[in-house]
Each structure stands twice: as structure tokens, then as C-alpha cells.
Amino acid sequence: MSFLEVLKDYDRCRVAERIAAQTAADVERALGNERRHAEDLLALLSPAAEPFLEAMAQKAHRQTVQRFGRNILLYAPLYLSNECVNGCLYCGFSAKNQVPRRTLSFDEIEREARVLHDQGFRHILLVTGESPKALDNAFLAAAARRIRHLFSSISIEVYPMETEGYREMIDAGIDGLTIYQETYDAELYQRMHPFGKKRDFAFRLATPERGGAAGLRRIGIGSLLGLGDFRFEGFCTGLHALYLSRHFWRTQLTVSFPRIRPADGGFQPLSPVSDRHFVQLICALRLLLPDVGLVLSTRESAQLRDNLLPLGITQMSAGSCTAPGGYADKDHSTRQFAIDDDRSPAEVCRLIRARGYEAVWKDWDAAFLERAAGQ
């Protein structure tokens, strides 16, 4: 059964009613359980859980240190192109926005990659819009081949592919995929994506399954916070993560928490998520998913990122630029959205250490795979 079929059993209004009906006793039971299930997530995301936030944070912290130690993996996005044929209402790269468009040449990609490498990064995320004319699978594979000697792990956050496409990516040295569903509410999804291939809710939803079937080693999911109600989106994200970890148990799963930021086009969040609810969401998902990596981006402020560090986060971006070519020439005029934490990677690293954690630049080497294959 695909996750699309699983999701069909969870009507948005019915889920909202069930979350609203949770009581303090339900929250206490969820907190007390050794292993937690979807029912517990309903309680942990509910308004009834808000007075228990401190207890949730303490458990989330203990659980994370037990499973992951005090390590925070650092990564950086590398934007290859801002060309896009889709019309996502919340995105600065939407085809409707009159912004300068740019796809980097392979020389420019290598220049950007070297800047990140010199800053210490060994994990990078290649990001593009969706424009088959500007950039296709062959381009992406060639870009990865050009820079793979510089990095231990290369992930992509690009247009959804077929399973065969992900196999081509693996051959080129790419080992991870990040794909946000944006919203698990199919109706809202249609409104947010008025035109372009991205309108296909079902195809996007099944993308992590195709990536898992191809054998990708890392898969990241998440919803764009500020579109739908965070409790419903958080619940569906939890269900999705449970489904993927059951079906692709060899794949390392991560969940990200992107909150909508200012972007060209001036989109305002439909359901703003407060800092308090943001913390509740992170703790609730950590308590449901003890082995899943939780990722925080530079969309959040430096102060909030510092405070969230002990609550379950295991990966962070640092020093990010969301404009193609922006690391080497500091031109941010074509950025996807504004970042909030603009500290340098070295500063973020110092802060992580000051908080008693270890900043990790590399937790994987492709040589592991080669050795395993040779045995």
C-alpha cells in the first residue's frame, strides 16, 4: 500500500477534531509510553499538550542524546539554478515573478563548491527550481560528478524524478534526496500550486518512495510551515516518516521544519506558526521518531536556533545563501527567500561547541559503500 492510500484514511477535518478532543490524560499517557504511535502524536500536537511543553522538551532532549549523542551535522545548500516553470505562490523563484534568472555553468558550480569546501563543509545539498530547458537529469548528474571529489555526501533538493532518475543520480555520486510535500492537505496543495508540473499532489507525495526504491541512502521530508494548520501537517509528517522508515529501513530518514520566509512575490503565511508551536512540533516529532534526524535551516533566527539545539535537532545548515552563485560573488539579488541566521559557518560552529555539542562536518564517506560492495 502506498503512502497516498494510507493518507486517504485521514480526513483533514476529522484529524483536526481528534486533535482538539485530546485531554491532559491523553498527553500524560503519550509522554509515559516507551514507544509511541500515531495516536500519541495526536495528543502531543494538541492544545492539551501546551502546558506540558517543558516535560516534552526534557524528554526530547534525553531521547536525542541517547540515540545521536551530542553531535550536530552541518551542511550547506548550493543553488545551481533559479529557473522554474512552476507557480508555487510562496516562492521567490515562481515563474510569475520577474526576477533575474540564472543557471550556473559547471565552472561556476565548481567555484561555489570550492568556497563551501574551504569553509569546512563536506555535506552539501544541490538545489534547483524545475525547468527541464535549463537543467535536467543529465546536467545534474554531470554537476555532481564535477564536484563529488570535494564532498563526502551530496544530496539534492530538486524536481521529483522517476525511480530510474534517482538511480542515475546514485551513479553520479548523489546519495540523498530532500523533498518537501509543502502541505499534506490535497485541496490546499492545489491552491498553492496553480500551474506547472508540481500541481500533481500524488506524484510529489510518492517521490520519497521512488527515491527509497532506487536505493538512496538519505531521504528528507517535511511540510512548509505556514501553509496548513501545523497540527495537521505535523501529524501527517509523522505518519509519512513512520511509513517510510518501515518500508525503507536501510535509508536514513530526516524531517525538516521550514517556516515560510519573506520572498519575492510577497506571500504571507496562511497559518502562521508561533515560536511556541514550532517548539511543540519539533518535540512531538522527536518523541514519535527517536531515530529520525531533525533538521533546522537558517530560515530561523540565530537566537531561536541556539535555543532549539538541545530539543532534538541533529542537523543544521550554516552560512546559507539561497541565490545561485551567491557564495563566490556575494550577489544575493536572485535569492529564493531571505535567511534569518546570517552567522558564518565558523561562528555557528563556535556556538555549537559553547553549548556542549560537537559540530560534525562529515558523518559518511562513499568509501564505506565501495568497501561493503567489495566484500
Binding site residues, ligand SF4, CB under 6 A: 84, 86, 88, 91, 93-94, 129-130, 198
Nearest residue (CB) to ligand SF4, 211 versus 310: 211
Residue 157: all three cell numbers together: 533538493
Nearest residue (CB) to ligand SF4, 178 versus 252: 178
CA separation (Å) from 51 to 36, 321, 364, 373? 20, 37, 39, 51
Taking the complex as a whole, the smallest distance from the CB of residue 344 to ligand SF4 amounts, in Å, to 26
Rg (CA), the chain: 20
Taking the complex as a whole, the smallest distance from the CB of residue 162 to ligand SF4 amounts, in Å, to 17
Nearest residue (CB) to ligand SF4, 129 versus 293: 129
Residue 348: all three cell numbers together: 555557528
Taking the complex as a whole, the smallest distance from the CB of residue 192 to ligand SF4 amounts, in Å, to 9
Q: 3-class DSSP state for residue 177?
A: strand
CA separation (Å) from 206 to 224, 269, 296, 368? 17, 26, 24, 29
Taking the complex as a whole, the smallest distance from the CB of residue 196 to ligand SF4 amounts, in Å, to 7
| Residue-wise DSSP of 264-309 | TT----SS---HHHHHHHHHHHHHH-TTSEEEE-TTS-HHHHHHHG
Nearest residue (CB) to ligand SF4, 19 versus 88: 88
Pairing type for strands 176-178 and 153-157 reads: parallel
Q: Give dist(CA 293, CA 176) in Å, integer.
A: 13
Q: Are 7 and 236 in contact (CB under 8 A)?
A: yes
Start-end of H helices in the chain:
3-8, 12-20, 24-32, 38-44, 53-68, 106-119, 137-147, 163-171, 186-192, 201-205, 207-214, 230-247, 275-288, 302-308, 326-329, 345-354, 366-374
Nearest residue (CB) to ligand SF4, 55 versus 99: 99
Taking the complex as a whole, the smallest distance from the CB of residue 228 to ligand SF4 amounts, in Å, to 16
Nearest residue (CB) to ligand SF4, 86 versus 314: 86
Taking the complex as a whole, the smallest distance from the CB of residue 88 to ligand SF4 amounts, in Å, to 3
Q: Give dist(CA 84, CA 57) in Å, integer.
A: 39
Taking the complex as a whole, the smallest distance from the CB of residue 269 to ligand SF4 amounts, in Å, to 15
Q: Give dist(CA 263, CA 68) in Å, integer.
A: 34
Taking the complex as a whole, the smallest distance from the CB of residue 322 to ligand SF4 amounts, in Å, to 10
